Amino acid sequence: MGIMERMRLDGKVSLVTGGARGIGKAIAEAIAEAGSHVAIVDIDIDEAKKTADEIAKNLDVQTIAIKTDVTNQEDVDKMIASILNKFGKLDVAFCNAGICMNIPAEEMTLDQFKKVIDINLTGVFLTSQAAAKVMLKQGKGSIINTASMSGHIVNVPQPQCSYNASKAGVIQLTKSMAIEFAKRNVRVNSISPGYIGTELTLNSPDLKPLIAKWNELAPLGRMGRPDELQAIAVYLAGDTSDFTTGSDFIIDGAFSCF
């Protein structure tokens, strides 16, 4: 069997949190194109249903849309139960849901700080923990967490201390869980995107003024595209990455190299 055949995800079942739009949607589309059935998990159920229906219509896979607050353990457990009820197993978990608040550190309230940490870090923990419990019983699985180049650098000019701290936490959480699960055949890796031109980012009135500055600093002179994260996602989801665990893949056009 050649490498392209071994890259296929036929018969696998995957979940993607924050899967309704942006990076999550691009990842969901990629793994579905590779043959995986997909659960689109998002707090915005209407948008999640649109994405799930679109994927099922265009590709020969089954999908389900599930409304989930990733900061709520009961919600996360119900989400896993819904996936198992429909598909009977879970092979891949993309823990992707996240938010960012650009607020100066001296002005950020405790509630604002906790909200970012709760969604970006605690949400990843709860989702990956729940997925791991299923995968450990199965004897195999792959967990992929969306971190960020912001877990490695401090972004400028926008102030985003809570986001940076949360993503650094995701990277270390990923490595810690990878070590714990390594001998039980459950892999845990993270993807650290740089600035990605999602529809939300490109159309945000708060972020649009910053894009020119980001592009000026970027070695490639531009933001990345969501589809430029798809290949690494498919690789980490599949069996060709069986020796890959505890790794963080920085996909940022060399932005964090200086």
CA nearest 236: which of 123, 119, 95?
95
> Omega of the bond prior to 157 within 30 degrees of 0, cis?
yes
- Cβ atoms of residues 89 and 138 within 8 Å: yes
For the stretch 142-171, what's the b/e string if a residue is b when 16 or more beta carbons lie within 10 angstroms of its beta carbon?
Answer: bbbbbbbbbbbbebeebbbbbbbbbbbbbb
Burial environment of residue 183 by CB neighbours within 10 A (0 to 12, 13 to 18, 19 or more): exposed
In 3-state terms, what secondary structure has residue 223? Answer: coil
Q: Which of 12, 49, 167, 241 is catalytic?
A: 167
- CA distances to 2, 86, 165, 203 from 5, rounded to whole Å, are 5, 26, 39, 38
**For this structure, is 192 an active site residue?**
no
Strand partners, 38: 14, 63
Q: Which of 36, 128, 148, 150 is catalytic?
A: 148
**For this structure, is 167 an active site residue?**
yes
- Cβ atoms of residues 12 and 89 within 8 Å: no
Measured distance CA(150)–CA(58) in Å, rounded: 34
Q: Which of 163, 190, 192, 195 is catalytic?
A: 163
**For this structure, is 176 an active site residue?**
no
Measured distance CA(92)–CA(183) in Å, rounded: 18
- Cβ atoms of residues 132 and 91 within 8 Å: no
Which residues are the active-site residues? 148, 163, 167
